[in-house]
A = this chain, B = another copy of it.
Amino acid sequence: MLRQFIIFMALLTGAAASHVANDANATEPPLSEATEACLECHSGATPNIVANWRKSRMAQTTPALAMQKDSLVRRISAEKVPEELLNVTVGCAECHTLNPDKHPGTYEHGEYQVHTVVSSADCSTCHPVEKQQYNKNLMAHAYGNLVKNPLNMDFANQVNGSLKYEAGRLVHALPSPETESDSCLHCHGTNMKALGDLEIENEDYGSVVVKKLSGWPNTGVGRINPDGSMGACTACHPRHIFDIETARKPSTCSQCHKGPDVPVYKIYQVSKHGSIYDARGKGWDFGKVPWIVGQDFEAPTCATCHVSLLTDPEGNVRVQRSHQMVNRIWKRIFGLPYAAPMPNSPDTSIIVNKDGLNMPTAWDGTPAEKYLIGAEEQGTRKAEMRQVCTSCHGSQWADSQLRRLDDVIKVTNQITLASTDILLKSWQSGLAKGPGKKDSPFNEDIERMWVKSWLFYSNSIRLSTAMMGADYGVFDNGRFWLTHILYKMAEKVRTESRQK
């Protein structure tokens, strides 16, 4: 602790001193005239938006200054930034009046052509590499991967729709647009369209006319922006600080990755990684670029393993930053009945398996190989992840752990097959209706039990092994429940067959 105190004092004094020097020599990074105009009203109208932005890095530098940094510490990936943006801070107007012609949602506001929704295409003006990489993730395609896949959409509709009870039967109605925006599409992203004008009355500022937007508000990872670009950067770098610190903290990922269908945050919390983060993380430096293993942090967060540029204390790069998170993921272990290799293309709606469905595996688990990455690409990605593991663990540790993941995939896939066999028998023997009778496969008790067996339990077991949070995979949402629900399904079929 003494040692840490003195280092802290040194840093503090150094930092303060150098900042004083800066202040003496340098002028504050200049605001554009347009941004100054925005601030005039919005400091009072939406004070937190302005106050947050003032704390952001974007308010404290200019693209020109940011581009001068060495490649490892640089936070801007553009080689060239439009002249007019170079020497002012990235303020309100720089983003909200960028590319007005490309935004169907542009409206006149004050003297400016403004759009409400800043798109990932706007952000890529300064961060093109991140945008390009991000587009190669399933997450960027999360809207289409749900909406363009009839089976997925049927599931979403059965889950989110409304129900009436008439003549002893439940009658289903499709979900309202509000419900859709506030259920699956909250995370997957809405399809945002600029509609007509919208007049807003404000006591202090009078009447303002803006553009009405469908699917707004939304910060889903696969949001279709009004300009057609995919993804909301604010899903992980929230407005209006847009910081790397927040994106590196596991609570950010937990917004979409905490439920029983994809409980990675809950598993992280019962893992040794999560325990150390919880106990000691408050002393770590989440803002440093590059992120130095053991110095800036002592145990990984989600970002460490999946995204960040990591170096050792001597400055040697262990892994490169990549917003193409799939670079370190070789198997798809959640969201689907069977685990399978990752798809070739992030647009999974193009997959057709041997049963004719847009799923990477058939009812019996056979992978639709031509749409999935091969052994070599899987090896490359696994090696990249192993490079992260061995920053903190010996080789035998890492390899044994990875072998456990191979095993758990095999075992859970086999149990999914058993579960599916029970479902198929239930359909064949007429105990449930299913697609053979032109009914949804998601609206009867046994069908939902089948969904739980893989969507909740098998997935959780796999994830708990992948992330070393084993406790979650037994009693919390795993093996106890998986085997129980199979016993229940089998008994149900047996009993009902007898009664028939």
Look across to chain B and name the residue whose beta carbon is closest to the beta carbon of A493. B168
Instruction: Among B44, B162, B213, point to the contact of A414 (Cβ < 8 A).
Output: B162
A contact patch SS: helix
Interface residues of A in 56-81 (CB under 8 A from B): 60
Contact A278 to B251, CB < 8 A, known contacts A6-B20, A164-B414, A483-B158: yes
- A425 in the interface, Cβ–Cβ < 8 Å? yes
Q: Mark A1-34, 1 if CB is under 8 A from B, else 0.
A: 1111110010010011011101100000000000
Given the complex, which residues of B lie within 8 Å of A448, measured CB to CB?
A: 480, 484, 487-488
Interface residues of A in 263-310 (CB under 8 A from B): 269-272, 274-276, 278-280, 282, 287, 293-295, 298
- A260 in the interface, Cβ–Cβ < 8 Å? yes
A198–B161 Cα distance when bound, in Å, is 56
Copy tally for this chain in the complex stands at 3
Interface stretch, picked from A82-90, A136-144, A174-182, A369-377, is A174-182
Interface residues of A in 392-408 (CB under 8 A from B): 392-397, 400-401, 403-404, 407-408
Contact A470 to B51, CB < 8 A, known contacts A12-B9, A165-B418, A415-B162: no
- A36 in the interface, Cβ–Cβ < 8 Å? no
- A160 in the interface, Cβ–Cβ < 8 Å? yes
A44–B314 touching, CB < 8 Å: yes
- A430 in the interface, Cβ–Cβ < 8 Å? no
Interface stretch, picked from A241-249, A320-328, A357-365, is A241-249
Given the complex, which residues of B lie within 8 Å of A256, measured CB to CB?
A: 270, 471
- A313 in the interface, Cβ–Cβ < 8 Å? yes
Instruction: Among B19, B45, B491, point to the contact of A444 (Cβ < 8 A).
Output: B491
A252–B275 touching, CB < 8 Å: yes
- A133 in the interface, Cβ–Cβ < 8 Å? no
B475–A259 touching, CB < 8 Å: yes
A487–B243 Cα distance when bound, in Å, is 45
Interface stretch, picked from A121-129, A183-191, A338-346, is A183-191
Look across to chain B and name the residue whose beta carbon is closest to the beta carbon of A411. B162
Given the complex, which residues of B lie within 8 Å of A495, measured CB to CB?
A: 496
- A422 in the interface, Cβ–Cβ < 8 Å? yes
- A169 in the interface, Cβ–Cβ < 8 Å? yes
Look across to chain B and name the residue whose beta carbon is closest to the beta carbon of A390. B46
Given the complex, which residues of B lie within 8 Å of A394, measured CB to CB?
A: 46, 116, 210
Contact A474 to B245, CB < 8 A, known contacts A254-B270, A270-B255, A487-B170: no
- A163 in the interface, Cβ–Cβ < 8 Å? yes
Contact A217 to B393, CB < 8 A, known contacts A51-B293, A279-B251, A280-B246: yes
- A150 in the interface, Cβ–Cβ < 8 Å? no
A186–B169 Cα distance when bound, in Å, is 41
Whole-angstrom distance between the Cβ of A415 and the nearest chain B Cβ: 5
Given the complex, which residues of B lie within 8 Å of A476, measured CB to CB?
A: 258-260
Pairs of residues from A and B, 3 with the lowest C-beta to C-beta distance, nearest first: A51-B294, A186-B470, A251-B278
